[in-house]
Structure 1
């Protein structure tokens, strides 16, 4: 499957998830525009590494694509997404996880009630919602699909392993949007598994406590 079939792809965020997602696209020969808060010039080394199919752009340019991966830190999501133009039915892939990084010098770093403290993170307080409900509020008018968030980002550039394909979960409420994201997942070399609606699949696959989070499954 080509970009012509899938549509244009944008990546908002060039950290571990955004850059590794760009790597797997480049490996598959798919084009994308990647952006971060520091501007295109800061991504010169990354796009040089990835080759001609991946270009650096502004956040607004990346956000104008047909399919846009949101790959920002949870604490930055509202600031990054809040000022963007109307989505008008375009597809947003929510790759975020509701975790916050802990200051090693803060009391949170030694919080015995937090099983994640040893990893330098804590679960964000979502007020009873799941993360995609909150992201959906930040991208009004978009068709939201949860994907690319549950797997160790360092293995993303290697979708095929041990004679099989890594499993990527996805969920959403719009059948057409889900089909497009499934096509992207499969074109990148993964095996896609539909977890159903956002209310069902979102919590299952979300870090830190989702039942399917960090499960590195391979379909042989």
Structure 2
């Protein structure tokens, strides 16, 4: 089973860190090319290599760790996924320029956090992402926690709970294995139509809750 990560920002780099901690091999990529990832892969060691987006996307399990505003541009240009697994770690939020009017908009309850919600017209995030990855088996996971706590899955004599959801039982089972192998406690929220909404930032009722299984 090969693993690819598309995106090397806060989420992508921390995903690589938790895989590297357990010696799990993966290819990480970004739009700037493998050379831009030299310092990260040097930090993480031999199990993580840098590759192109196309190389990462050819893996058996691919983590989509791109910003929401880039998701269609990055994922939409890739070929059909032919049944491979895409782990949707995205959230429909836009990061704000601190000097922009949006950053001080009193109508935006998330302005203090430097983000605003993207209007999806009544859809939830994985419903949209699924359109960008035709032929993929989509599993929603690794999106509901603060990315800064991801490298520490085991805390307070317990394990952080990681929610996941999807429509394909086989795909969910493989993602669950990764969740367990990296030290988290997996909780299945059911189908994408159910779990995809429950754990999606910023307004899902389970979003940002940091539960610990003792």
Q: Same fold (TM over 0.5)?
A: yes
What's 2:27 paired with?
33
CA drift of 1:105 comes to 2.9
CA drift of 1:120 comes to 1.2
Residues 155-194 of structure 1 correspond to what in structure 2 (within 5 A)? 155-194=149-188
Q: Is 1:195 equivalent to 2:189 in the alignment?
A: yes
Residue 135 of structure 1, aligned match among 113, 129, 134: 129
Instruction: Give the secondary-structure state (helix, strand or coil) at the position aligned to 1:207.
Output: coil
CA drift of 1:138 comes to 0.1
Moved over 4 A (4+): none
CA drift of 1:82 comes to 1.1
Residue 96 of structure 1, aligned match among 85, 90, 108: 90
- Worse-matched range after superposition: 187-196 or 105-114: 105-114
CA drift of 1:198 comes to 0.4
1:57-115: per-residue Cα shift (whole Å, max 9, x none)? 00000000000000000000001011111100000000000000122233212211111
Q: Is 1:13 equivalent to 2:7 in the alignment?
A: yes
1:24-46: per-residue Cα shift (whole Å, max 9, x none)? 00001100000000000000000
Unaligned segments of structure 2, at least 5 residues: none
What's 2:72 paired with?
78
| C-alpha distance in structure 1 between counterparts of 2:63 and 2:44, whole Å | 17
Residue 102 of structure 2, aligned match among 94, 98, 108: 108
- TM-score, normalised to structure 2, is 0.99
| C-alpha distance in structure 1 between counterparts of 2:155 and 2:119, whole Å | 36
Unaligned segments of structure 1, at least 5 residues: 1-6
| C-alpha distance in structure 2 between counterparts of 1:108 and 1:154, whole Å | 25
What's 2:205 paired with?
211
What's 2:54 paired with?
60
Instruction: Give the secondary-structure state (helix, strand or coil) at the position aligned to 1:171.
Output: strand
Instruction: Give the secondary-structure state (helix, strand or coil) at the position aligned to 1:72.
Output: coil
Instruction: Give the secondary-structure state (helix, strand or coil) at the position aligned to 2:164.
Output: strand
Instruction: Give the secondary-structure state (helix, strand or coil) at the position aligned to 1:193.
Output: strand
